[in-house]
Each structure stands twice: as C-alpha cells, then as structure tokens.
Chain A
C-alpha cells in the first residue's frame, strides 16, 4: 500500500542551528510531493511542493526540500531555524489520479533558546 513515513515524531534544535526533517514514501512512480506546516492552533500552510524538474525546491520562510528518487525521500531543510519555526510539519504525497493526498504522521519541531 502507498504510505508516507515521517520517522521523527519530535525534533529539538537550538535556535540558529540547521534543520532537516525526514520524509519517505512508498510508491513505484514519482509522486507529487508537498510539505505543510501547522503552527499551534492554526490550520495548515503549504511550505513547498515538487512536481518535476529541479529536485531541489525552494519554499516560503527559508525552507527548501530535496527529492531523491533513489531513496524515495523528500527531506525538508532550513539552514538556520528561528523560534517562530516551532510548529508541526507534515509531508504529503499525491500518488494517483483520484487526487487524494496521503499524509505522514507529522514531526513536531521544538526550538531551544
């Protein structure tokens, strides 16, 4: 079955440190890939998406993600986190023609001062 895995439930980083959030999917073909962020008490906001072309995509708020076909991964990165980045991050993929998004369980990012 198609699935999305975010192996880290929580990640704690210091303010100013770099960040990488992992996302792996299982599917034979190249899916459409998304990262969303959910700030406390808020809805979900799209950070970035990948459909084709350059495998390194830039998003809002200084985030980027790299699609690696060989590893079935789409990891989210940021070179220097800010306290305002504390939130829950969700990876999602769309794999077939019924337009459904398959979601990872989320990774909660905690920022240490």
Chain B
C-alpha cells in the first residue's frame, strides 16, 4: 500500500531534550516536506527536499533541522525543543514537487513540549 508513515504519532517531551520525528514514504517520491499545523494558521512549511541531499527552508524553519540521506526517509530533528514548537506535524511527499503533483500526507505527529 502506497503510504507516508510518521513516528511517533504522539510525543510529550520537555524543553531542551533533543528529539527526532521520522518520516518514510514507499512511493519512490523525490519531493518530501514537513509542515506544522496550528489552529487558525493552516499548515506552514518547515523544510522541504527536492531529492537526496537537497533540502531547503520553508516558511518556519527556525528551531528545526532535516536530513535526506536516502530517498524514502526525511526525518525532522528538534535539537532543543521549546514550548512554542508544540504543534501537529505532517510529513508529505510527491513524485517530483512539480506544479501538478499531488502531495500525499502522513497521519501526523502530535508533539507537546512542556
């Protein structure tokens, strides 16, 4: 089954404790992206990747890191989480990121930083 998976689905942590949210897709997509969703703000893009070893900042990259060492995986790293990073995070992928490509979304990771 074609899908985007994220782990963990739920995470409660404390300020400053490094964490990684994994994202994996099995569709051989080149383009992957991370979003955060906050009430009243819709989705805001954190980082995206056009292909292996190619990443770029989205609208709200501060406090986040990503890597794309292999095509299927695109982990999101919070080196020193803070409470303002409490949010719902979505990973997405698409074939090439082109204008007509549909993005497929993972189920989301709800992160709470205390």
Contacts and interface: CB of A to CB of B under 8 A. Distances in A.
Contact of A103 (B31, B42, B99): B42
Contacts of A32: 99-100
B100 A43 contact: no
Contacts of A44: 43, 90, 92, 105
Interface residues of A, number: 23
A11 interface: no
Given A43-B90, A43-B108, A44-B90, A103 B103 contact: no
Contact of B48 (A9, A49, A100): A100
Interface in A58-113: 90, 92, 94, 97, 99-101, 103-106
B41 interface: yes
A51 interface: yes
Interface in A35-58: 36, 42-46, 49, 51
Interface of B: 4, 31, 40-45, 48, 50, 58-59, 90, 92, 97-100, 102-103, 105-108
